[in-house]
Amino acid sequence: MKKGFVFIETIVTVVILCGALIYLYSSYNNIINNEEERVYYDDTAYIYRTYYIREFLLNNSTIEKVKTTAFNNIYVTQLSHEYGGLFTNDNDKINFASIYSYFNISHVYLISQKMINECEGPGIDTDEVCKNSYEILSYNTRNYVKSLNTTTHDYLLVIEYAEKISENIEDEGAIISCVWGTDTNCRSYFTSLGV
């Protein structure tokens, strides 16, 4: 009788310990996933870069005009130095191209707050404006935009940076620009600021 009780007691103890370990593993896994997302979304160094780019656009471009003309049946527009009418001065256009290169920028988007408010939840697959807006964005950018919350700004400047550590010995581990999906070890980092 005592041997049977000890055996059942051992089984119960093992089951409880296994359950606790499974719970701890799933909790730890969630913490790691959230931390990985935090590293790639809104990192302080990239927020400073984005602030600099936003100030450059506000002071040297026609971004206010773009806000009023670019959002017909769409909530997103992609900005670059080649965007028609964004710059009236060729020097500003050249400077923006240099900023793109210097900061390892992959994409710059101007996104209407309406996208964040109206393109989430059930029924968005049938909304043509939301569908057209998401088609412009890469998969990783879509995930970032879906993580954004409502702000007091009508528009957000969303920037995707693509970087990797150089594999050349001469560069001594310098961070260089890369193309996501083409280059190995390429990482995308995302930030947004209200405009």
Exposure of 29 in the CB half-sphere (CA atoms within 13 A): 6
What is residue 108's predicted lDDT score, i.e. its pLDDT?
94
What is residue 121's predicted lDDT score, i.e. its pLDDT?
65
What is residue 1's predicted lDDT score, i.e. its pLDDT?
57
Separation of first and last alpha carbons in the chain: 76
Instruction: Give per-10-residue mean pLDDT for the chain (195 aa).
Output: 74 88 82 68 90 94 89 89 87 92 92 86 69 87 85 90 82 77 84 91
Indicate yes or no: pTM above 0.85: no
* Cβ proximity of 79 and 94 under 8 Å: no
What is residue 91's predicted lDDT score, i.e. its pLDDT?
92
What is residue 118's predicted lDDT score, i.e. its pLDDT?
83
